Structures are given as structure tokens and as C-alpha cells.
Structure 1
Amino acid sequence: MPKRVRTWLSFEQLRAAAEAGDPEAQCDYGICFHTGHHVPVDHKQAVKWFRLAAEQGNATAQCYLGYCYQTGQGVEVNPEEAARWFRAAAEQGDPAAQFNLGVCYETGFGVPQSDEEAFKWYLAAAERGEPQAQFNVGVFYEQGRVVAQDYRQAVKWYRFAAEQDCAPAQCNLGLCYELGRGVPQNTDEAVRWFLKAARQGDKTAQHNLGLYYARVEAVPDLDDPRVRELWSSGSQGEEESRA
């Protein structure tokens, strides 16, 4: 979800602008209630202000309102309403809404399931820099879903997302380097990306990194407790797999 809140001179100024009907102020006021910024968290109040802004065409508010219907925050879960508001924002070019609408199509949440529509909206969001959408586009290319299997395209999109610290993309990019898919095989690069993902808690990357260290019987930076833990868990997993 977008986290933008415009800088206002004061919270009182924001509230006054929202109450006067300014849609951007209404959206930001809703975000305050949604996140507990200057006020206690109150999802019903957040929905109230998101709706006022959304009905005036504010794309960020439309995306937030869709998210509330998707998760049941301040309203009952309503897949159709979630998809409707995501679409309203997505058609205005909001990348978070485009990603969320893609998720709706991939999972059949509030819309008929369609991998084609999912990819369309993931790609739209990915081209606007949304990292999770970039990762998903990479997955579609790697698996050959909807589009022809293309490891180079998969690597391209994984890299875009990985450089924005998307841990699953970092892990998958590491796997591409390990296996030589879409890039020349390069163990050092594989380990580098596994380590980035592992340090963010990605379990697959932690496992792959631990197995690598167990195989080569060499661990850099043993003074780092996180690396010791990864090596230990990976070594244990390797021994268990041999048993």
C-alpha cells in the first residue's frame, strides 16, 4: 500500500481541509486513522474518509478503500467491492492498485480468475516500479505462464525488484545465478543475492545459503551471528538430507 501523506503545516490544517471537502486531505486524514498517525487507530473512521476521497476520484484513497474491503479493516470483507475500488485506482495508473487488482485476478478474488488479466495488471504496476509486481512478472516469465518462458526476462524483472530489496526476488535472482538461467552461472553472485534475501528473513534463501556454506566448508564473517546461524541451520539440513 502507498504510504504517502502530504506535508501539511499542522494536523489541524489537514483536518480542516478534509472537513472542507479537499479529496487529497480526506485521503491523508484517512491514512492518519489507518496508521495511528496523530490519532488512535480507527479503521471505521479511516474508511469514512477514504470513501469521501475515493468518490471524488482520488486514486490513492480508492486503493486504500479497496484494501479495507479486501482485509476487512473497518468494513466487512467484500471481494467484489475490493476489486471495484482497485480497478478504479488502477485505471488511473496507481501502481499499488494495479498490483492488487492483479492479485485479485490471479486468485479469483472478487473477479473471475484469469492469469492473463493478472499478468496484464502486474506488468502495468511493474513498469511503474512496484517491486512485488516486478517479482510476479519475473515468476510468470520463469514459469512460462501466459507468456513464453523467457529466463532473461525473468532475470530482468527479478533484478528490478531485488534492487528495491524485495527478498523473494533476491532469492530467485540468486537461484538464476546458481543454475545459469538467463545469466551466466556465477556462484559468487548467487551467494551475494542469497545473503541479501537471507538477512531479510527469507527462509528459502537462508536454506540455500546454509547448504552452500556446508558444501564448501567455508563461512565468511563468522563473527556475524546471523551468518553463523545460517551456516548452522544449513549444515544441519544438509546432514539430515544425507541420512
Structure 2
Amino acid sequence: SGPAPGSLDALRKAAASGDSKAEYALAKRYADGVGVRRDDAMAVEYLRKSAAQGYAPAETGLGSCYAHGHGVPLHLAEAVKWYRKAAAQGDALAEYSVGVAYANGGGAPMDMNVALKWWRMAAEKGRMEAENALGQFYYHGKFPGDTADINYTLASQWLLKAAHQGSLPAMATLGYMYQYGVGGPPDWLQALKWNRLAAERGDAGAQDDLGQMYENGNAGLPHDNVQAYKWFLLSSRQGNKDGQHDIMEYQMHHILPPSEIAKAQTLADQFRPLPAPATGDDSKTAEH
């Protein structure tokens, strides 16, 4: 009898006979170190074999290797070349990635309108990163100070789609929008829901916002300065300016006795962020 289906041996055998899906599956194993020692160069070798046969996920994967310098020298134009091949086959992650290249001017001329076209294609297939990218675009505009493209209704529609799939930047931006009434009246319960989800996954902005909700007793939360200080501390430790400012306020005004500060510090030290979903996201993260 041959090797068990799905086993490493079975994959190697299928890959040796030129099976593009097996080549791709082996590449992923080498990239992630699953059942084999992690080896970016081997991952690239198998991605190349699979991509040479036109297998779209491998083309996208190879593009990603060039975009991040994994197993090959960083080469943005080469990354875009492979993303385009996969995008031509309708691969949503590749469509999103071509959009990122145009948005950042990395490997393609900077052109936000072209970026939006690609993101829309990917978002309409339910690609989380593209939904977030569109939401962030309608929230921030094309560039700082640009208000022409800001549309908070469209922003929240796309951000909600992305957040429901687990996009951390989308969760954090939604929490902020609901808390501060961006594009509509404040909604404390929605603010609490999204801020907590993002804060528990380690988003520094959401951690500060959640701390403020505890400080003010919003959304039916108890006024809890220990919890507030804990979240401010976690936010400030990531270099968040708002978190650092809030910590300073607490210390200047002696809001908490030293024993309570110690309690909050212990809680912050014990904090472990929940895992965020694995994504291929290199678009901009949430900013307020």
C-alpha cells in the first residue's frame, strides 16, 4: 500500500509527478514548518513549480514571497507580476494585493482609483482584507486632509463586513466610530462590543478607547479605574500616544492609590492577546 492520503510522503509523491496542488501544499508546509523544518527557500522552489503550471494560489504565494522577501530577495515589481497572473484567474487575495501595490506605489505606479477597482473586485468575493481596505479608504479619504472621498456610511458597511470576518483594524475603527459618533450618533453598546474585541486582540487604539469607557462608565460598565488603568497601560506599552497621555493624567491627579495601581499593573502583566485570524494583510492598519 502507498503512503496515507494527505501525508507528507503522499504529497511528495504527487508533487514529484507534477501535481500542482500537491506542489503548493508542500510549499505551504515548508513556509509554515508543518511536519518539516521551516525552509523558505524550499517553499519558494515548490511555489515556482506549481505557479509555472498556472495554479493561482501558488502564483499569489510566490508574489507574496517577493513582496516580503521570504526565501527570495525583496522585489516588488516581480511580486506584482505574479499577483497579476493569479488575479487574471479571479484569485481574490491576488486582486487585493494588486490593489495594495497601486495604493502604496510599490511595484506599480501609485494610483488610488486603480487600487479601489482591484479592492472592490476582491471585496465583492468576500476577501476580508479588501473589505477592510475599502472601509479604511472611505473613513480616511485618499490622503490626510482629503475629505472628498470620505463616506462614513460606506466606511461602516465595508468595515462591518471585514470585522465580522475577524479583521482587527476594522474592529478597532468601528469601535472608535461608534464611541465618538463618527458618521452618526454614538452607540455605546456597539462601541463596547468592537473596542473589546479589538482590545483583547492587542489593538493599542482600541485598548485606550476601552479604558476610557471603563473610566467614564459608558455602556452600562461600572466606573472602574483599575480596569481603565490596565487598558491605558497596555495601550501605552505599545507606544500609543493617547494611552501614554491617559497614564500621565492618572499619575498627575493621583486618581488611584498605589495599591490599586499595582493591581492594574499585575492585570496588564497577565494580559495575553487573543490570536487574530491569520491573513495576508499588508494594507494600512486602523488609525483614528
Q: TM-score, normalised by structure 1?
A: 0.86
Change (3 A) 1:60 1:214: same
How far off its partner does 1:29 sit?
1.2
* Aligned residues between the structures: 235
Question: What is the aligned partner in structure 2 of residue 186 from structure 1?
Answer: 187
Cα distance per residue 1:182-210 (max 9 Å; x no partner) = 44431221122111110111000011111
Aligned pair 1:105/2:102, yes or no?
yes
Aligned pair 1:238/2:246, yes or no?
yes
Cα distance per residue 1:199-241 (max 9 Å; x no partner) = 111000011111222233885597xx97762166688743635
Aligned pair 1:86/2:94, yes or no?
no
Does the Cα contact within 8 Å between 1:152 and 1:181 map onto a contact in 2?
no
Does the Cα contact within 8 Å between 1:105 and 1:115 map onto a contact in 2?
yes
Following superposition of structure 1 onto structure 2, how do residues 1-243 of structure 1 map, counting pairs within 5 Å? 8-145=5-142, 148-216=149-217, 219-220=221-222, 229-230=230-231, 237-238=245-246, 240=248
| Cα distance between partner residues in 1 of 2:71 and 2:27 | 11
AA of the residue aligned to 1:153: L
AA of the residue aligned to 2:209: N
| Cα distance between partner residues in 2 of 1:228 and 1:164 | 30
Q: TM-score, normalised by structure 2?
A: 0.73
Does the Cα contact within 8 Å between 1:210 and 1:232 map onto a contact in 2?
no
| Cα distance between partner residues in 2 of 1:84 and 1:67 | 11
| Cα distance between partner residues in 1 of 2:35 and 2:129 | 29
SS at match of 1:157: helix
SS at match of 1:140: helix
Change (3 A) 1:8 1:114: farther
| Cα distance between partner residues in 1 of 2:70 and 2:36 | 17
Unaligned runs of 5+ in 2: 236-242, 253-288
Does the Cα contact within 8 Å between 2:229 and 2:247 map onto a contact in 1?
no
| Cα distance between partner residues in 1 of 2:17 and 2:71 | 23
AA of the residue aligned to 1:154: A
Question: What is the aligned partner in structure 1 of residue 260 from structure 2?
Answer: none
Does the Cα contact within 8 Å between 1:210 and 1:233 map onto a contact in 2?
no
Does the Cα contact within 8 Å between 1:213 and 1:231 map onto a contact in 2?
no
| Cα distance between partner residues in 2 of 1:239 and 1:149 | 32
CA RMSD of aligned residues (A): 2.8
How far off its partner does 1:87 sit?
1.1
SS at match of 1:120: helix
Unaligned runs of 5+ in 1: 1-6
AA of the residue aligned to 1:191: L
| Cα distance between partner residues in 2 of 1:172 and 1:66 | 29
Q: Choose between structure 1 and 2 for higher RCO, CA contacts under 8 A separated by at least 6 residues.
A: 2
